[in-house]
Structure 1
């Protein structure tokens, strides 16, 4: 289906690279989980004239594990064959690719952990993983098709490498939330200029300024191609943050996604003192909603997210001055998403029966941000399943750097073994109810770890809390729907909006 709107953002002149005018599609497909918004889904959305978005979280693990599974279809190997440095690609293939796939019960190899100065092998794997995901999403599509990548401010230690990899593949948009992404515009400018790009690290108790960097020339040398700066959309929850980011040209994004509390995954905690309802979920109020008149007055394009998954809500967003909407849940549940058949089957079965529920768990995420978890039988959303899982932290994407007494930097995660967390200076109350999102999200896409003792990681599915559109699509498509059908549904009321504005 053709996009209803193909207006262009008019970006400021970039002296380092010629920046094309990019489409402003009505629909942004959300960047969800770990590879739930994978390249296949993003490609379907982009080819239909909207903004297809891949996840930029844990793509090093996704690439390494897919290669160990034999790279079914040869897609990642095809992408790596187009990477600017054949030597770097060959190193990763030699280490992780298993012809025909490893035995199903065998554990995946560990990969280098993220630190403030990740080992070179880890940086190369992350750059390649993000390159491959964006490259596959864009493969063969014309210049009008736009693809974005979604990263989390809370996964700082992986951000510079992820964005370099995405830019090497020609990513058009970068989206980031779960924090205040004030340094991303400068990071993108530096990388586009072929220079070292850095962001400031959030180090608990830190007295010294520390940074996380990537140097394109150091990694690729003479093989570094010219890079084009993508447009940056900051994911924010309130207009005050948008005003703050817009005020200074050095930190100003190219637009915003205004995400309301029902949105899936991590969400901003309520402003003020945390209060919980009778179900133990955070209570949000008027202070947690953006003033859309003030958003429109800023003058930058913005999209609405969080309970904008029906045609009526899309029309409402446009009438409020938004370019369009960002929608995750409808696409996560679609047959084009990266969810495993097991995970999608559980979700669609509960949707058919009218029993699908999503809880905003204030404790689940080690980051301290509320996290939306689908309540599914036999998954880590259930207390007994969660309690049966041995506490461990081996993927470590959500580890918090902290400054030790000797001035060195250590790393801790509130979901790791409690005695280890306390030994590193963490507070015991911070460990209560914390879940290993990293391993759970990998299990959701069929890449969960099989451990030597026979333990297999359980699913932990995240989804948005507004399910009205999903229930309607299930009524129309009882066996499930494709991304193109979700796009068609979302745009059903747009002709009326256009006529009303004439």
Structure 2
């Protein structure tokens, strides 16, 4: 099957692949520009993006805003004609600041999940930035669309549908994940029906995400009616991924039985590698040495561990004392390749079907 371009408003990606936003610092400007160069949509994760800034510990918000500006500018400088997106979690305290900075720096797309981005249209008023909410159900898609239409006379430019096999935070209850009844295929079809039922008079591309690993997977979702896919795990094991080599090796060395659903301090279940940190957290609380005030729903007096510290440890290479989020297929990763090679492989697999 010849892969069609992914069209989001007036943006056209030659390859219908969005690289998933992965924080802290896993998808920065290096990975983003590399994906954009190959015709996909590269995405910078904004969560605690300023962790390398010298004043991050004492001036976290300003460090994050400054770093986001740098990352967008560097990605744009290296790939001036590519599509550069940002992923902004609704769950972070600095959500408004990250959105406004992304608009000021003229990012092409904001992809937003880990909560319902109900105020997003108001924050980007007057700009041409594309808005792409992440949902895990038809119900959530309907709620967001109806809210945006009623309050802002605005509809999403696309919708990412993230299923239960994704990495990081998941938009499902733990019981749903344990039962295993939720299927990405079903949710994608539900969201497509919701989009059709609201009769917006404009095509809203639906993007499938979570557990998509091969070109064959891409074709499967395109045939179901999706306009493209979002992939995170495959892009970690690339030379251009912004994470430490130890982080990439944690994927390569992982076994299927190492990948577990954990309880995150965000309040959502998450998928990660069960390492030394997770085993310690299972035995008892790891008291944070400081609070970065990063998440709306995190109580530093009760949190099982500091998620910022855990994610920063892992991206810097201390993967046993860090949180290593992975998709369900991470154990299948067996080598590090260039982004160019990976996208070429995926396209070839799809087009050979």
Classify the secondary structure of the residue corresponding to 1:130: helix
Q: In the alignment, which residue of structure 1 is the partner of 2:64?
A: 126
Higher relative contact order (CA 8 A, sep 6+): 2
Q: CA deviation at 1:180?
A: 0.9
Classify the secondary structure of the residue corresponding to 2:74: helix
Structure 1 segment 16-27 matched on structure 2, within 5 A: 21-24=10-13, 25-27=15-17
TM-score if structure 1 supplies the norm length?
0.62
Q: Distance in 2 between matches of 1:390 and 1:142?
A: 44
Cα distance per residue 1:373-428 (max 9 Å; x no partner): 1123xx3122379759443342231253xxxxxxxxxxxx34x344xxxxxxxxxx
User: Contact 1:315/1:493 (CA < 8 Å) preserved in 2?
Assistant: no
Q: Does 1:45 align with 2:31?
A: no
**1:168–1:242 CA distance, 2 compared to 1 (3 A):** same
Structure 1 segment 217-232 matched on structure 2, within 5 A: 228-232=127-131
**1:180–1:269 CA distance, 2 compared to 1 (3 A):** same
Give the gaps of 5 or more residues in structure 2.
197-202
Q: CA deviation at 1:257?
A: 0.4
Classify the secondary structure of the residue corresponding to 1:152: coil
What count of residue pairs does the alignment treat as equivalent? 339
Q: In the alignment, which residue of structure 2 is the partner of 1:451?
A: none
Of 157, 179, 183, which residue of structure 2 is paired with 1:254? 157
Q: Distance in 2 between matches of 1:389 and 1:294?
A: 39
Structure 1 segment 250-399 matched on structure 2, within 5 A: 250=152, 252-270=155-173, 275=175, 282-286=178-182, 289-290=186-187, 292=189, 294-295=191-192, 297-298=195-196, 299-350=203-254, 354=255, 357-361=258-262, 363=263, 365-376=264-275, 379-383=276-280, 387=284, 389-399=286-296
Q: Distance in 2 between matches of 1:291 and 1:387?
A: 38
Q: In the alignment, which residue of structure 2 is the partner of 1:111?
A: 58
Computed over aligned residues only, the root mean square deviation of the Cα atoms, in angstroms, reads 2.8
Give the gaps of 5 or more residues in structure 1.
11-20, 69-95, 97-108, 114-121, 194-227, 401-412, 419-430, 449-455, 498-502
Q: Distance in 2 between matches of 1:171 and 1:262?
A: 28
Classify the secondary structure of the residue corresponding to 1:243: helix
Of 13, 17, 25, which residue of structure 2 is paired with 1:35? 25
Computing the radius of gyration over CA atoms, which structure comes out larger, 1 or 2? Answer: 1
User: Contact 1:27/1:326 (CA < 8 Å) preserved in 2?
Assistant: yes
Q: CA deviation at 1:170?
A: 1.9
Q: Does 1:495 align with 2:341?
A: no
Classify the secondary structure of the residue corresponding to 2:167: coil
User: Contact 2:91/2:296 (CA < 8 Å) preserved in 1?
Assistant: no
Q: CA deviation at 1:60?
A: 3.0
Q: In the alignment, which residue of structure 1 is the partner of 2:86?
A: 149
Q: Does 1:165 align with 2:72?
A: no
